[in-house]
């Protein structure tokens, strides 16, 4: 294992030199009670060195398999691409970082990776992770595609800084990986039989579109699951915690609470009420009428968390409840 870890570190260093990004997103972890399966604790999931070891060899396998199936099926290989983000996607983030004398270089993935490494505040160890979370939200969505529908220049995976990529390592939970396993089997075994659809560019392109749609649906289901268990955990509790502002809206702002890995919206006005804070478009902040209070990205705030017992939907029998955050 030590030898594998040594190799994994070398593989990672090589990826970083090529411009691979180390991004982040708040991933919540629940600890459930054995009998009732009710959540008894919630925290931000922490990745260990062993996670990084496994990840490096999974990435290596995915890249190697992508090259192999593209070599044998140049018009019908199922690959995965991550387009380069639009420069304007970073405008709000850049505006918020400017007063801190921090600028993200977005000319290339390598320049972005290096500027992210420099985005630190000595008195706030969580700040760099927060910047990476918000940078992740500026990215384009990665997509499955059929190799015959795009030129090789469009295959690139921006976040991983590799010219070709696919999903191969998780066939038990992703159908795309099953398709790639079938392509690899056909590529390495000349006597293997396979359906004609596997090498049909049109059919594989249609399958890619379906997989992209299902992937988005799975992400939404995952977020709904986190929302449900978060509501169950905080039901009957009133918690006062410190958080960071992650988004500014015209009628409120989003807050991430690192101690729980929970994110929610604090509304500064209700329908028909006079706004407590007005949205300042130029500053991209919420400002009080006398300018004594201003809320912008990265700002520390203390919020009260509790579950709103009124149903989210009109159906009075609905079990869905929303987490209520207040200053």
266 - beta bridge partners?
A: 253
Q: Report how far Cα 103 is from the mean position of its chain's Cα atoms.
A: 22
Give the model confidence (pLDDT) of 49-80 as tens digits.
Answer: 899 999 999 999 999 999 999 999 999 999 99
Distance of alpha carbon 56 from alpha carbon 170, whole angstroms: 14
Q: Please, are residues 132 and 116 in contact by the beta-carbon 8 Å criterion? A: yes
Kindly state the tokens that stand for 77: 């290989």
CB within 8 Å of 3: residues ≥ 6 apart: none
**CA-closest candidate to residue 126, choices 247, 248, 300, 285:** 300
Say whether 35 sits in a helix, a strand or coil: coil
308 CB-contact burial (10 Å; exposed 0-12 / middle 13-18 / buried 19+): exposed
What is the b/e burial string over 110-133, where b = at least 16 CB atoms within 10 angstroms of the residue's CB? bebbebbeebeeeeeeebbbbbbb
- Phi/psi for 123 (5° steps) reads -95, 10
- DSSP string covering 1-20: -HHHHHHHHHHHHHHHHHT-
Q: Please, are residues 202 and 143 in contact by the beta-carbon 8 Å criterion? A: no
Distance of alpha carbon 157 from alpha carbon 63, whole angstroms: 10
CB within 8 Å of 69: residues ≥ 6 apart: 77, 78, 166, 180, 183, 184, 187
Task: Quote the pLDDT of residue 186.
Answer: 93
Give the model confidence (pLDDT) of 142-155 as tens digits.
Answer: 999 999 999 999 99
Kindly state the tokens that stand for 276: 């407590």
Distance of alpha carbon 214 from alpha carbon 243, whole angstroms: 33
Task: Quote the pLDDT of residue 317.
Answer: 45
Count of beta carbons in the 10 Å neighbourhood of residue 19: 18
Sign of CA dihedral 204, 184, 65, 3: positive
* Block residue for tokens 């987490």: 323
- Phi/psi for 223 (5° steps) reads -65, -40
Distance of alpha carbon 224 from alpha carbon 228, whole angstroms: 6
Strand ranges in the chain using DSSP code E only, listed in sequence order: 28-32, 39-44, 78-81, 143-146, 239-248, 252-257, 262-267, 278-280, 285-287, 294-295, 300-308, 322-326
Distance of alpha carbon 125 from alpha carbon 127, whole angstroms: 6
Residue-level pLDDT, tens digit, the chain, 327 residues:
999 999 999 999 999 999 999 988 878 888 888 877 889 888 877 778 899 999 999 999 999 999 999 999 999 999 999 999 998 999 999 999 999 999 999 999 999 999 999 999 999 999 999 999 999 999 999 999 999 999 999 999 999 999 999 999 999 999 999 999 999 999 999 888 788 888 899 999 999 999 999 999 999 999 889 888 888 888 888 989 999 999 998 888 999 998 888 888 888 876 566 677 888 888 888 998 888 888 989 999 999 988 877 655 544 444 455 667 776
Query: How far is CA 220 from each of CA 82, 217, 223, 275, rounded to the nearest angstrom?
Result: 20, 5, 5, 31
Query: How far is CA 230 from each of CA 27, 201, 289, rounded to the nearest angstrom?
Result: 12, 43, 35
Task: Quote the pLDDT of residue 192.
Answer: 82
């Amino acid at each position: 294992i030590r030898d594998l870890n040594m190799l994994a570190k070398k593989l990672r260093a090589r990826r970083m030199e090529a411009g691979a990004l180390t991004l982040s997103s708040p991933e919540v972890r629940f600890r459930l009670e054995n009998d009732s399966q009710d959540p008894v604790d919630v925290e931000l999931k922490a990745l260990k060195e062993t996670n990084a070891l496994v990840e490096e060899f999974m990435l290596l396998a995915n890249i190697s398999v992508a090259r192999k199936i593209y070599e044998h099926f140049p018009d019908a290989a199922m690959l995965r691409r991550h387009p380069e983000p639009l420069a304007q996607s970073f405008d709000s983030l850049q505006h918020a970082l400017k007063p801190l004398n921090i600028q993200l270089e977005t000319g290339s993935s390598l320049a972005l990776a290096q500027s992210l490494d420099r985005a630190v505040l000595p008195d706030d160890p969580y700040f760099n992770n927060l910047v990476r979370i918000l940078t992740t939200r500026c990215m384009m969505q990665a997509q499955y595609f059929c190799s015959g529908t795009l030129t090789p220049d469009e295959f690139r995976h921006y976040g991983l800084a590799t010219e070709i990529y696919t999903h191969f390592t998780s066939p038990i939970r992703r159908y795309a990986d099953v398709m790639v396993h079938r392509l690899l089997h056909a590529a390495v075994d000349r006597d293997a039989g396979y359906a004609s659809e596997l090498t049909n560019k049109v059919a594989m392109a249609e399958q890619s579109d379906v997989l992209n749609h299902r992937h988005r649906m799975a992400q939404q289901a995952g977020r709904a699951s986190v929302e449900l268990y978060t509501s169950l955990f905080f039901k009957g509790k009133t918690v006062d915690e410190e958080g960071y502002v992650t988004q500014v809206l015209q009628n409120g702002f989003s807050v991430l609470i690192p101690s729980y890995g929970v994110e929610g919206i604090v509304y500064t006005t209700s329908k028909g009420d006079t706004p407590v804070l007005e949205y300042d478009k130029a500053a991209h902040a919420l400002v009080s009428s006398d300018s004594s209070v201003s809320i912008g990205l990265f700002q520390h705030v203390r919020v009260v968390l509790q579950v709103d017992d009124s149903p989210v939907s009109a159906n009075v029998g609905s079990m869905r409840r929303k987490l209520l955050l207040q200053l």
